[in-house]
Structure 1
């Protein structure tokens, strides 16, 4: 009663087979996403370090750079000293706290304990720094 379909579906891409383009696994996608969040957190941390240098921030920045390099298979993140103004310090700590939170969610999703611990530590550090700076400015 019915004839078999002899033509390709309109939903398949013309001339491409599934192996014609690269696919990444969920783990690879999470690695890329986590590296991006940690690199953004590193950039904000460097910006805060330019305004308020401290050994704790130096250590945190170095640990963040190591984690980004690990996730990017040895490629170290680009770092540049950024200049910011003093009133932005609280905002930078808030931004860093939010970025660390995003990194923590992705790290937990991929069960990366080292990155999750680092992100949680950074959340705590930036939350307390933002709170103390906000209180000091009142």
Structure 2
């Protein structure tokens, strides 16, 4: 009724076979994802620094840049130099809070304590910046 298969499959589905494209481990994927979240948080932090310079933001930016560089194998992250004048600081704080939360989730699943602590601190900083807005809306 059915004719037997006489040729090998074009798909490599057998364990132990090599394929033509590189595979990354789960840890490498998490490193890439975490570096991306931290780089985005660094960009928002640089925007906030340009709008309202503060020593706390400078310190946070340096710590973030250090972690991004570590996760990217020593590659220095691109830093923000010019900021449009029409940015809303509260919207930037909301975005930074969300990015720090994403970084915290990935850092926790990756078991990276240093980044998890940094992300949690950044969440607290940006949540505190948003508190007057939350109280005013009540």
Q: TM-score, normalised by structure 1?
A: 0.86
Aligned residues: 133
Partner of 1:28: 28
**Secondary structure of the corresponding residue to residue 106 of structure 1:** helix
Partner of 1:75: 75
- 76-85 vs 51-60, greater mean Cα deviation: 76-85
Gaps of 5+ in 2: none
Cα-to-partner distance string for 1:88-121 (whole Å, 9 max, x where unaligned): 1000000000000000000000000000000000
Distance 2:89 2:44 in 1: 10
**Secondary structure of the corresponding residue to residue 20 of structure 1:** coil
Distance 2:101 2:134 in 1: 22
Pair 1:136–1:2, CA change in 2 (3 A):
closer
1:7, distance to aligned residue in structure 2 (A) = 1.6
Contact 1:32 1:71 in 2 (8 A): yes
Map 1:46-125 to 2 at 5 A. Answer: 46-85=46-85, 88-125=88-125
Distance 1:90 1:73 in 2: 33
Distance 2:34 2:82 in 1: 22
Gaps of 5+ in 1: none
Q: TM-score, normalised by structure 2?
A: 0.86
Instruction: Calculate the aligned-residue CA RMSD, in Å.
Output: 2.4
Pair 1:108–1:79, CA change in 2 (3 A):
same
Runs (4+) of structure 1 exceeding 4 A deviation are 1-4, 135-138
